[in-house]
Amino acid sequence: MQAPCTPDRLFGFVDELTDYPSWMPLAHRVVTADPEPDGRPVWEVELRARLGPFARSKRLRMVRTLHEPDGSSGGRVRYERAERDGRSHSPWVLDAVVVADDGGSRLDMALHYGGALWTGGVMEKVLADQIVAGRERLLELVR
């Protein structure tokens, strides 16, 4: 996404998960949780997408595993699923990189999901629509 703002302004919207519900409709609810023993921040995230009268949701415990703010140049951040219930879970990994670009900034995000809940033609379309809506809302906020 190209944005008409400074990289540090744009990075401020992606480096803290509690800000995501303000611009990403998929992030239905995000609350801060107790940090990891090594001090890395943790969030409890509820993702929700609607398909007509139906909604599909997923709760995740996400840890910020990489945080490299680069001042006025942007930065990189990564969140990874890290449940504490002793069971095996599908991976969720979200990477975001913000860089200066053409007088503004550019955001590159990648979401990796290793399970089957959000896959399949219909849910993939719903997820794609949520991403488009989130991008539009984020552009409104940074202008």
Of the candidates 66, 20, 24, the one whose C-alpha atom is nearest the C-alpha of residue 44 is 20
Tell me the whole-structure pTM to 2 decimals: 0.90
| 8 A C-beta contact, residue 3 and residue 139 | yes
24 Cβ contact list (under 8 Å, min separation 6): 130, 134, 137, 138
Residue range 35-88, pLDDT digits in tens: 999 999 999 999 988 777 777 788 999 999 999 999 888 999 999 999 999 999
What's the pLDDT at 118? 56
Q: What residue spans define the domains of the chain?
A: 2-142
Could you tell me which CATH number the domain at 2-142 has?
3.30.530.20
Rounded Cα gap, residues 101 and 2, in angstroms: 8
